[in-house]
């Protein structure tokens, strides 16, 4: 499957027809979040059955072109470990993608190997080793090198194939409906784009904590979250967990 860099509105419009006609696409993002609260979206990768697209969102002016794809409930979006990607998309496009199939959640239903990386699944099913360590890459840097484009496109290249493999396995074990329900519940917008008053639920809370301490913890977590949002800095810069 060839890789294509899409860095103009005209180029994006040319591929939208193919994407809209696809019943299933692979989806991934690259973003930077080292010194900010909100993720800075740098790239969006989409795969179809025929091509891999690396979309330079920084260069695209018309956001509605992709918003319509995200909201199209007839297109299955296959993402691996999707919560951070969904958050980055929501923050940038102000919409929450519909009809997600998370390959990590699906794999967890089949094997007692919780939360495997995308590269581990590619290695398991296709015997292909992918380079890891994208967190060390400055995805906001331009121009994008051929190496970066290939690296980014590899993150969606195998998603559709993984979807079909995992779906077949889930069907054989009569777990597909159960898995789809779990994905829908886990990826409800309130579980991904959490309100400050609910952010305490993401903390690892000791079993020995009493009710009074829990009340204080909830309030501190909410105050910390609001401060991080207002200053757009990581929450742990304000107060460690």
Backbone φ and ψ of 135, nearest 5°:
-65, -15
For the beta carbon of residue 176, count every other beta carbon within 10 angstroms.
17
Minimum mean pLDDT among 105-109, 123-127, 128-132, 201-205: which range?
Answer: 128-132
The DSSP string of 184-202 is: HHHT-HHHHS--GGGGGGG
Q: What angle do CA 102, 204, 101 make, to 5 degrees?
A: 5
* Distance between CA atoms of residues 101 and 80, nearest Å: 8
pLDDT recorded at residue 71: 97
pLDDT recorded at residue 80: 98
pLDDT beyond 90 at 113 = no
What integer is the mean pLDDT of 161-174? Answer: 97
Phi, psi of 43 (to 5 degrees): -140, 155
- Give the number of other Cβ atoms within 10 Å of residue 40's Cβ: 17
* 206 band by pLDDT with thresholds 50, 70 and 90: confident
Instruction: Report CA Rg, the chain.
Output: 19
- As a whole-number percent, the residues of the chain with pLDDT over 70 amount to 99
CB 176 within 8 A of CB 170: yes
Report whether pLDDT(218) > 80: yes
Confidence band, pLDDT 50/70/90 cuts, at residue 207: confident
96 phi and psi angles, rounded to 5 deg = -115, 115
124-159 pLDDT, tens digit per residue, is 999 999 987 666 789 999 999 999 999 999 999 999
Q: Is 236 exposed, middle or buried (0-12, 13-18, 19+ CB in 10 A)?
A: exposed
Return d(Cα 182, Cα 115) in angstroms, integer: 15
What DSSP assignment string belongs to 71-82? Answer: H-TTSEEEESS-
Rounded to whole angstroms, the Cα distance separating 63 from 209 reads 46
DSSP type of residue 207:
T
Specify the pLDDT at position 52: 97
Q: What is the pLDDT of residues 28-77, one digit of tens each?
A: 999 999 999 999 999 999 999 999 999 999 999 999 999 999 999 999 99
Q: What's the CA gap between 89 and 180, in Å, rounded?
A: 21
The predicted pLDDT at position 81 comes to: 97
Number of neighbouring beta carbons within 10 Å of residue 19: 20
- Where are the extended beta strands (E) located within the chain? 3-6, 24-32, 40-47, 52-55, 76-79, 100-102
Q: What is the pTM of this model?
A: 0.93
Q: Exposure string (b/e) for 96-130, b if CB count within 10 Å is 16 or more?
A: bbebbbbbbbbbbbeeeeeebebbebbeeeeeeeb
- Percent of the chain at pLDDT exceeding 90: 93
Confidence of residue 169 (pLDDT cuts 50, 70, 90): very high
């Amino acid at each position: 499957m060839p890789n294509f860099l899409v860095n103009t509105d005209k180029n994006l419009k040319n591929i939208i027809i193919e994407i809209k006609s696809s019943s299933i696409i692979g989806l991934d993002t690259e973003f930077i979040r080292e010194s900010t609260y909100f993720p800075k979206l740098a790239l969006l990768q989409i795969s179809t059955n025929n091509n891999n697209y690396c979309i330079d969102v920084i260069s695209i002016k018309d956001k509605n072109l992709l918003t319509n794809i995200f909201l199209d409930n007839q297109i299955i979006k296959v993402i691996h470990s999707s919560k951070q990607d969904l958050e980055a998309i929501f923050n940038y496009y102000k919409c929450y993608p519909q009809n997600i199939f998370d390959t990590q959640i699906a794999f967890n239903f089949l094997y007692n190997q919780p939360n495997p990386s995308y590269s581990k699944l590619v290695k398991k099913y296709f015997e292909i080793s992918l380079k890891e360590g994208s967190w060390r890459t400055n995805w906001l840097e331009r121009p994008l090198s051929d190496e970066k484009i290939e690296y980014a496109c590899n993150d969606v290249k195998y998603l559709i194939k993984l979807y079909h493999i995992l779906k077949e396995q889930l069907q054989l074990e009569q777990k597909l409906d159960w898995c789809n329900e779990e994905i829908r519940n886990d990826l409800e917008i309130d579980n991904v784009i959490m309100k400050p008053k609910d952010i305490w639920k993401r903390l690892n809370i000791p079993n020995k904590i009493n009710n009074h301490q829990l009340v204080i913890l909830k309030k501190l977590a909410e105050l910390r979250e609001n401060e991080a949002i207002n200053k757009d800095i990581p929450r742990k810069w304000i107060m460690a967990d």
